[in-house]
Amino acid sequence: MSKKPVRVAVTGAAGQIGYALLFRIASGEMLGKDQPVILQLLEIPDEKAQKALKGVMMELQDCAFPLLVGMEAHSDPMTGFKDTDYALLVGARPRGPGMERADLLAANAQIFTAQGKALNAVASRNVKVLVVGNPANTNAYIAMKSAPDLPAKNFTAMLRLDHNRALSQVAEKTGKAVADIRKLCVWGNHSPTMYADYRFATIGGQNVKDLIDDQVWNETVFLPTVGKRGAAIIEARGLSSAASAANAAIDHMHDWALGTGGEWVTMGIPSQGWYGIPKDTVFGFPVTCENGEYKVVEGLPIDAFSQKCIDKTLAELEGEKDGVKHLL
């Protein structure tokens, strides 16, 4: 028997990540090749953006995806999120000339407060939310705080791009295949302060830290390369990461919905006090997923260097939380 369609909302649907994301959702790469989807696409109420969205929808139609059983265009989250089962919040205000970080936080706080409230009012009570728009962790925190009737654990932020970047750097350094790397994780904020951690990682049963055996490389090459990769892409492409960001969003939602078979992945999730991270701070943790739920990998030893890195990324996140406190 064929499955009942699920509703997938995507904001910023006419943007560059949207363009790399929607076709893969519609083809079944996110939720499975047997799962029909209805796309609920949101863009700002601006003639140019809505027209561009119409164009993307024409292209989606032209793909004749068997799993795409419905498609809607919206400019209001109160209609765009109606009964939605999965919400990918990609649309956000980018930093403009002369804008300080606090201005960006304030502009995005308005977007994510409104979207959190709309999800609270009209989405499925089990909606799974992924925030991609930057600053992703704090935007997820704002949306979560604006949706008190939904489970806080259902609001997540995207750290998967950092996780995937770290996997590829480790594969390159060791000369091994990405597919053979297990138990890597990224702690903290989706920003240059994130802490990519390969201390527990293995390749074919061998410990990656022992295999690399180079703390100088870890501190001076690996961490800055992963942490500043977003800026390096902007410098090279003149635009921020889009296909790799969309790919990470697909991975995040796929694994959350369909499980990781015991493997570790990284998700930005509201802390319940794990590893001393204050409750509700949206922080990157190692998790496994099963039956539509994520579970933090607990009890990992944190050495002095790792604690210092975790403290730094946490301090940044607490500062961001402080910066939006008055808006919540």
Ligand X SMILES: NC(=O)C1=CN([C@@H]2O[C@H](COP(=O)(O)OP(=O)(O)OC[C@H]3O[C@@H](n4cnc5c(N)ncnc54)[C@H](O)[C@@H]3O)[C@@H](O)[C@H]2O)C=CC1
Ligand Y SMILES: O=C([O-])CC(=O)C(=O)O
Q: Which residues bind ligand Y (CB under 6 A)?
A: 134, 161, 230-231, 233, 240-241
User: Rounded to the nearest whole angstrom, what is the least distance from the CB of residue 115 to ligand X in the complex?
Assistant: 7
DSSP for 57-89 reads HHHHHHHT-TTEEEEEEES-HHHHTTT-SEEEE
The answer to whether residue 190 forms part of the interface with ligand X (CB under 6 A) is yes
Residue 132 touches which member of ligand X, ligand Y, none, C-beta under 5-8 Å by kind:
ligand X
Q: Which is nearer to ligand X, 183 or 190 (CB)?
A: 190
Given the residues 74, 163, 190, 254, select the one marked as catalytic: 190
Residue 233 contact among ligand X, ligand Y, none, beta carbon within 5 to 8 Å by kind:
ligand Y
* Exposed / middle / buried, residue 260 (Cβ in 10 Å: 0-12, 13-18, 19+): middle
Q: Is 108 part of any known ligand binding site?
A: yes
Has 252 been annotated as catalytic?
Answer: no
CB of 277 to ligand Y, least distance (A): 21
Q: What are phi and psi of 6, to 5 degrees?
A: -110, 155
The least CB distance from residue 123 to ligand X, in Å, is 15
Smaller CB distance to ligand X: residue 16 or 207?
Answer: 16
CA distances from 187 to 20, 135, 190, 289 (A): 26, 15, 9, 17
- Compute CA 266 distance to the chain's CA centroid, rounded to the nearest angstrom: 9
Q: Is 18 annotated as a binding residue?
A: yes
Q: What's the CA gap between 39 and 25, in Å, rounded?
A: 9
Q: Residue 94, interface with ligand X (CB under 6 A)?
A: yes
- 204 C-beta neighbours (distance < 10 Å), count: 10
Is 126 known to sit in a ligand binding site?
Answer: no
Shortest distance in whole angstroms from residue 69 CB to ligand Y:
32
The answer to the question of residue 104 lying near ligand X (CB under 6 A) is no
How far, in Å, CA of 266 to CA of 187, rounded? 8
Tell me the Ramachandran region of residue 259: left when phi exceeds 0, alpha when psi lies from -120 to 50, beta otherwise. left
CB neighbours of 260 closer than 8 A, spacing ≥ 6?
A: 287, 288, 289, 290
Q: Is 252 in the site for ligand X (CB under 6 A)?
A: no
Q: Write down how long the chain is.
A: 328
Q: Is the Cβ–Cβ distance between 12 and 18 less than 8 Å?
A: yes
Please choose, from the candidates 233, 221, 60, 248, the residue with its C-alpha nearest in 3D space to the C-alpha of residue 157: 248
Give me the residue whose beta carbon is nearest to ligand X. Answer: 15
Q: Map residue 290 onto helix, strand or coil.
A: strand
Please give the residues from 257 up to 316 whose contact with ligand X meets the rule CB under 6 A.
none
Name which of 231 and 328 has its Cβ closer to ligand Y. Answer: 231
116 binds, among ligand X, ligand Y, none (CB under 5 to 8 A by kind): none
> Shortest approach of ligand X to residue 285 CB, angstroms?
16
Pairing of strands 202-203, 206-207: antiparallel
Number of H helices, E strands in the chain: 12, 14
- Of 9, 39, 40, 43, which lies in the binding site for ligand X, with binding defined by CB under 6 A? 43
Minimum distance, C-beta of residue 230 to ligand Y, in the bound complex (Å) = 2
- Residue 132 assigned to a binding site: yes
| Residue 16 assigned ligand-binding role | yes
Q: Which residues are annotated as a binding site for substrate?
A: 95, 101, 134, 165
Q: Which residues are annotated as a binding site for NAD(+)?
A: 12-18, 108, 115, 132-134
Interaction site with ligand X (CB under 6 A) = 11-12, 14-18, 42-44, 49, 90-92, 94, 111, 132-134, 136, 158, 161, 190, 240-242, 245
**Known catalytic residues?**
190
